[in-house]
Structure 1
Amino acid sequence: MPSDPQVVITGASGLIAKNTIAEFLRRGHTVRGTLRSLQKADDVRRAVSRLGADPESLSFIVADLTSDDGWDEAVAGAGVVVHSASPFPITQPDDPEDVIAPARDGTLRVLRAATKAAVARVVLTSSTVAIFYPSGRPIGHVYSEEDFTDETRPDLTPYFKSKTIAEKTAWDFIESTPGAPELVAINPSFVQGPAVDADLSTSHELYRIMAKGTYPAAPSISFPVTDVRDVAAAHVEAAFQPGIVGNRYLVGEGMLSLYELGQIMARELPDLSSKVPKFELPDFAVRAMAVFDRKLRTVLPELGEKKAYSNAKVKAELGLSLRGADEAVTAAVRSLRDLRLI
């Protein structure tokens, strides 16, 4: 690894990517971001500035997960590649391949280009959805990086499958390809923390839906929560720390239900208290409603189970002290009000 390596971050307009870019820049690194179109370049620069980083050392190049074009140029000269680009639809598509194909094939394109360019290390932005849905785990099982989702389960959404298949594809590639880069995976849970602009993540878009009073009741589901600032720090630590190659890191702190998310929003923004969900729906009602409401299909795998998990590995090996779930959600809600989006 060069002493001051060029860092490449794919999908530079995403929430995690913007925060990760800012974290690298604050630590003095030069960053190249990939975008599907350079039309978003100035928006990313402004976001990075809001995050307290100087965009002077940030450049961009066009590369799309669905095309081979541009990837060799994108990673040329890089010591580290952070592959964060991946589709995350709030409404699940009719054809699962609409989400799975770009996630899987895009990961392969990045890894092939990184191998050709002799990149030292790739940090993959995966997800806890690639951990929390194996088959055959007993009730009360404590999930950790040792678990891997079974993507053949029929109850999983296309997005859950896409993240799992993309990560497994990455590990298979590294194992089978001579000269492949080192690989570390970061598996964030439900990403909260402050939004930086109006180009909202799917996680933040949830509050805009709540603020409209769209759902007077919430499905009875809970998520492990993480703050995007901690996710960004995890990526930077994973890029350079020795002795962690070949590892996955579950990033999450605490657990909140959809109903509790709404209650935090009502607490922080009392004018919206009449809009948030007032009670939790029984599971059978959610399943029935999901036949007609595609957004609800995303939460179906969560029904009927509150998952226990361990974040000991990310704290011990990456040295992170994670923000709590309430702090992360509070920051998200307040940022959306500051941006006048709710």
Structure 2
Amino acid sequence: MASNPPVVVTGASGLIAKYTIAEFLRRGFAVRGTVRSMEKAEAVRRAVAKLGCDAGKVSFVVADLGRDDGWKEAVAGSEIVVHTASPFPVSQPDDPEEVIAPARDGTLRVLRAATAGAVARVVLTSSTVAIFYPSGVPKGHIYSEDDVTDETRRDLTPYIRSKTIAERAAWDFTESTPGAPQLAVINPSFVQGPALDGDLSTSHELYRIMARGTYPAVPKISFPVADVRDVAAAHVEAALRPQAAGNRYLIGEGQMSLYALGQIVVRELPDLRAKVPKFELPDFAVRAMALFDKKMLTILPELGERKDYTNVRAKKDLGLEPRSADEAATAATRSLRELRLI
């Protein structure tokens, strides 16, 4: 496969991107990653090497979602672009456009460059939040890729709206633009699995918050979980399998509550027993706390919700055999201790 043109992975310094880069390297592809600053490149190389891959087969181009500079060079000569870059704030901003604009405009910027560069396929990293919040679904609804979040709902956070709007913009662009690349979309749920270095994803930061004893109690919410290793495999399969074109894929396996996540930390790291949350908060208390703690705003739409879903399409089309939620959370906990971060 040495003659294959390089695969482009945007936002190369992100957790999903690092694993995706490694997965492509294992398949014999060279990879060209985009970074906002070349200072990020060495950390990506170290992470890829840690995963047992040849970091010498990764090159880098500086390109920012907020500017046109660099994107033509980034996609030149490539047939596959995997667009993972997107903002994921720990706290929700006062102005939703701070998150929505870069997600939407950055996605369109990448798609325009890919179209001009005659790229054959783009794989977009979206999220299950672009699936799980439609309007008018009945109680007990089983969510699937056929569901689309209603971004006009007033109870949604800027992050949820940003992922939904960016994905919708991508589908609209590829359906209406002559010569646009094929599009496949990956919709991961709450991403867990092993951390690679100290540049943690927002989901992994949750463990550090627990380990510091910041919150003696947690909201009573559950969420689907995806292991980052499965998410990376899904991106690669969606890039390479013909049947993936024009489809979106919900990636997740099982459910996990925040309290159960803390109990996994206790099971794996008993020395943190005194730090992790001891009980679950009633919903009214969480809503009151959100008036003063912006981090709480992110989880308000989850209160009283359970997202039952099917991942049959990803298993069938992409050949995935996803890891369990417990395995993903356990791997995350162990990796953070090995990195001496908790």
User: How far off is 1:52 after superposition?
Assistant: 1.1
Measured in 1, the distance between the counterparts of 2:52 and 2:292 equals 43
User: How far off is 1:284 after superposition?
Assistant: 0.7
Within 5 Å, which residues of 2 pair with 1:125-144?
Answer: 125-144=125-144
Measured in 1, the distance between the counterparts of 2:22 and 2:326 equals 24
Q: For residue 326 of structure 2, what is the aligned residue in structure 1?
A: 326
Q: For residue 156 of structure 2, what is the aligned residue in structure 1?
A: 156
Measured in 2, the distance between the counterparts of 1:82 and 1:329 equals 25
TM-score by length of 2: 0.99
Q: For residue 106 of structure 1, what is the aligned residue in structure 2?
A: 106
1:48-69 deviation digits (Å, cap 9, x = unpaired): 0001111111000000001111
Q: For residue 307 of structure 1, what is the aligned residue in structure 2?
A: 307
Tell me, what secondary structure is at the counterpart of 1:309?
coil
Aligned length: 341
Q: For residue 45 of structure 1, what is the aligned residue in structure 2?
A: 45
Q: For residue 252 of structure 1, what is the aligned residue in structure 2?
A: 252
Tell me, what secondary structure is at the counterpart of 1:214?
coil
Measured in 1, the distance between the counterparts of 2:328 and 2:317 equals 22
User: How far off is 1:3 after superposition?
Assistant: 7.3
Measured in 2, the distance between the counterparts of 1:249 and 1:19 equals 18
Quick one: which amino acid aligns to residue 340 of structure 2?
Answer: R
Tell me, what secondary structure is at the counterpart of 1:113?
helix
Measured in 2, the distance between the counterparts of 1:33 and 1:95 equals 30
**C-alpha RMSD over aligned residues:** 0.9
Which deviates the most, 192-201 or 242-251?
Answer: 242-251
User: How far off is 1:146 after superposition?
Assistant: 0.2
Gaps of 5+ in 1: none
Quick one: which amino acid aligns to residue 38 of structure 2?
Answer: L
TM-score by length of 1: 0.99
Q: For residue 124 of structure 2, what is the aligned residue in structure 1?
A: 124
User: How far off is 1:244 after superposition?
Assistant: 2.1
Measured in 1, the distance between the counterparts of 2:299 and 2:134 equals 16
Quick one: which amino acid aligns to residue 275 of structure 1?
Answer: K
1:3-60 deviation digits (Å, cap 9, x = unpaired): 7232000000000000000000111101000000000100100000001111111000
1:128-151 deviation digits (Å, cap 9, x = unpaired): 000000000011000000000001
1:261-294 deviation digits (Å, cap 9, x = unpaired): 0000011000001111111101111000001001
Identity percentage of aligned residues = 75
1:146-189 deviation digits (Å, cap 9, x = unpaired): 00000111111111010000000000000110000000000000
Measured in 1, the distance between the counterparts of 2:130 and 2:69 equals 28
Conservation of the 8 A alpha-carbon contact between 2:243 and 2:317: no
Quick one: which amino acid aligns to residue 260 of structure 1?
Answer: A
Q: For residue 217 of structure 1, what is the aligned residue in structure 2?
A: 217
Measured in 1, the distance between the counterparts of 2:8 and 2:292 equals 41
Conservation of the 8 A alpha-carbon contact between 2:189 and 2:251: yes
Tell me, what secondary structure is at the counterpart of 1:266?
helix
User: How far off is 1:243 after superposition?
Assistant: 2.1
Within 5 Å, which residues of 2 pair with 1:166-185?
Answer: 166-185=166-185
